């Protein structure tokens, strides 16, 4: 299984009036524009995925919808609380195995520091690796035998948004 982990694009700053609820902060116009370029870069790389799971938070949802639009993908984006801020990675991995265990490639859209912690757990078995996944950054992991909470994957690459937009 291939896992692509994408951090949401630039969103309205925390504490902005009108967005007291963190889950309601949307992408900024600049964030949406840059995410379109990132998604075009992803497409230029030849990335393919069968399933797209996103945090239900608005900024991640909008990021996933932009990717679906650029890829011309009519599939609906599915939402999983395990990708939300403070989500439970054990439960996320259990759901992926149960519902998508035979899937070849999955795109996960979420937040920091959760995405870096998940990458770290899958690579090293511990959430403590120092990994920087910038807004709009993308990581590709290959699951060696089976997906589990612990060391089970290899790092294929980690790209900053500037690398992806440069391919667009």
Q: What CATH number does the domain containing 162 carry?
A: 3.40.50.1240
What integer pLDDT is reported at residue 15 of this predicted model? 87
What integer pLDDT is reported at residue 52 of this predicted model? 96
Which residue ranges in the chain fall short of pLDDT 50? Answer: none
What integer pLDDT is reported at residue 56 of this predicted model? 97
What integer pLDDT is reported at residue 73 of this predicted model? 75
Q: Which of 153, 164, 142 is nearest to 1 (CA)?
A: 142
The total number of structural domains that make up the chain: 1
What integer pLDDT is reported at residue 79 of this predicted model? 95
Name 155's Cβ contacts closer than 8 Å, sequence gap at least 6: 119, 123, 139, 140, 141
Owning domain of residue 57? 2-167
What integer pLDDT is reported at residue 125 of this predicted model? 95
Determine the 3-state secondary structure of 64 from DSSP. Answer: helix
What integer pLDDT is reported at residue 43 of this predicted model? 96
Quote the mean pLDDT of the chain.
Answer: 95
What integer pLDDT is reported at residue 74 of this predicted model? 64
């Amino acid at each position: 299984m291939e896992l692509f982990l994408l951090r949401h694009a630039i969103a309205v700053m925390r504490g902005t009036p009108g967005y007291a609820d963190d889950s309601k902060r949307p992408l900024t116009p600049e964030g949406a524009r840059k995410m379109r370029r990132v998604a075009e870069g992803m497409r230029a790389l030849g990335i393919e995925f069968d399933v797209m799971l996103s945090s239900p938070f608005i900024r991640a949802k909008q990021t996933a919808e932009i990717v679906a639009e650029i890829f011309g993908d009519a599939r609906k984006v599915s939402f999983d609380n395990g990708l939300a801020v403070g989500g439970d990675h054990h439960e996320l991995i259990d759901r992926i195995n149960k519902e998508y265990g035979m899937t070849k490639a999955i795109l996960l859209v979420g937040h920091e520091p959760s995405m870096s912690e998940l990458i770290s757990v899958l690579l090293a078995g511990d959430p403590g690796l120092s990994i920087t996944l910038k807004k709009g950054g993308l990581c590709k992991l290959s699951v060696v035998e089976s997906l589990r909470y612990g060391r089970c994957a290899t790092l294929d690459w980690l790209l900053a948004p500037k690398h992806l937009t440069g391919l667009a």
